[in-house]
Structure 1
Amino acid sequence: MLNIELIQGDITKIKADAIVNAANTSLMGGGGVDGAIHRAGGPAILEDCRKIVARQGKCKTGEAVITTAGNLPAKYVIHTVGPVYNSGKPKELELLRSAYLNSLKLAAENEVHTIAFPNISTGIYRFPKDKAAEIALSTVKEFLAFDKVVEKVIFVCFDDENYGLYNRLLAGE
C-alpha cells in the first residue's frame, strides 16, 4: 500500500520533513503558494535561495533545489519550477513530471521521509488541473513503488476543485 494522503488546506501549516514550493525560476518568491511559503517561512528561505542562485544561477523548469524551511513546521522546502501551460505539448507534460520526480529524488537524497506537495503549475501557469493531478499521482506512485526513503506523500490542495480531482483519482485506484 502506497502511503499517499490528501488534505485540503494551507501547505505552510503542514508538519512534514519537507514541503514543496511551486517556485519560479528566479527563486526569489512570487505569488500564490510561492509567496505564501516565503512569507510564512521568513527571510532564511530567501537567504538560502540567494545562495543557490549565486552558485548555480536560476532553477530551470522541471528541476528542484532544497533550502531550510525557516519558520515553517517542516525541516526543508524543496523548490521546483513547473511548466507554464501553453498547448499541452508532450514537453510540457514531461516537464511537470520532472518537477515532481526531481523533488522526490532530492527528498530521498536528504533523508526526507514525509513530503507535502502543492498543486504545481495549476495556478497562474494555467496547467489543466485534471491533467496535472494525473501526472502528479502517477509520478508519485511510480517513485514510491521503488524508493525506500520517502515513506509518505501528502498532497495539499488549496481549492475545492483540485481536492475533488485528487479525491476521485485516489478513490478510483
Structure 2
Amino acid sequence: MTELRFLQGDITEVDVDAIVNAANSSLMGGGGVDGAIHRRGGPEILAECKELRRTRYPDGLPTGQAVATTAGRLPARWVIHTVGPVYAASQDRSDLLASAFRESLRVADELGAASVAFPAISAGIYGWPMDDAARIAVTTVRSTDTSVREVTFVLFGQHAYDAFTSV
C-alpha cells in the first residue's frame, strides 16, 4: 500500500526518486512549479524535453499524459512531466486531472521509482479550485494500483496544504 505524506515547501528540494512536474504541453518550461524545476534542475532537463518534442511528441505532450526525463541537478533521479487540464467551470475535465496523476504513477512504476513527489497539479495558473484539485489528487493516488511506496504531496502555501490534508 502506498503511504501518503503532505509537506508544505519547495518540491525542488525534496529527496525522492521522482518529482512530478506540472508541465505545459510544450515541455519547454514555464512559470510556477514548471519554471522552478527547470531552473533548479538545469539544462539537462530542457535538453531531454527538446529531444522528446523532436521524436515522440512533436505536437506537445497531451493533457493527462506523462513522460519522464532526467532530474538534472535536482536531488531526485527523474522528473515526470505531466500536463494537467486548464479549469473550466462550463466543462468537467476532472477525468483529465485524475489521468495526470494515474499516468505519472504508471511512469514511476516503469522507472522503478519507490518514492514520488507531486505538486498541486492544475491548481495554480490553470485555475483549478484548490479544494477540488486536492480531492481529485488524493482520491486518485489512493485508488491507483502502483508499486510506488511513498507519495508526498509538496504544497506551496498554507491554503494548499490545508486543502490536501483535509481530504
TM class by smaller structure? over 0.9
- C-alpha deviation, 1:167, in angstroms: 1.4
The equivalent of 1:41 in structure 2 is: 41
RMSD (Å) for aligned C-alpha atoms? 1.0
**Superposition deviation, residue 89 in structure 1:** 2.4
Q: Give the residue type in structure 2 aligned to 1:20.
A: V
TM-score, normalization: structure 2?
A: 0.96
Q: 2:76 aligns with which of 67, 74, 78?
A: 74
1:112 corresponding residue in structure 2? 113
Determine whether 1:89 maps to 2:91.
yes
List per-residue Cα deviations over 1:76-113 (Å, max 9, x = no partner). 000000000111623x1010000000000000011000
Could you tell me how far apart the structure 1 residues matched to 2:165 and 2:141 are? 15
- Which of 151, 158, 163 is equivalent to 2:161? 163
Counterparts in 2 of 1:161 and 1:88: CA distance versus 1, 3 Å = farther
Equivalent position of 1:63 in the other structure: 65
Q: Give the 3-state SS of the residue equivalent to 1:126 in structure 2.
A: coil
Shift of 1:18: 0.1
- Paired residue secondary structure (1:98): helix
Tell me the equivalent position of 1:153: 151
Query: Distance in 2 between the 1:101 and 1:140 partners?
Result: 7
Letter in 2 for 1:86: A
Secondary structure of the residue aligned to 1:67 is strand
> How many Å separate the matches in 1 of 2:33 and 2:91?
25
Task: Give the C-alpha shift of residue 74 in structure 1.
Answer: 0.1
In the TM superposition, residue 159 of structure 1 has moved relative to its aligned partner by 1.2
Runs of 4+ in 1 over 2 A off after TM superposition: none
Which whole-Å CA distance do the structure 2 matches of 1:119 and 1:88 have between them? Answer: 21
Give the percent of matched residue pairs that are identical in Structure 1 and Structure 2: 51
Q: For this pair of structures, how many residues does the alignment match?
A: 165
Deviations 1:147-171 (A, max 9, x none): 3x210000000111110111122xx
Partner of 1:16: 16
Q: Under a length normalisation based on structure 1, what TM-score does the superposition of the two structures give?
A: 0.93
Partners of 1:123 and 1:53 lie apart in 2 by 24
Q: Point out where structure 2 has 5 or more consecutive residues left out of the alignment.
A: none
Aligned-partner Cα distance in 1 for 2:120–2:28: 19
Runs of 5+ consecutive residues of structure 1 not aligned to the other structure: none
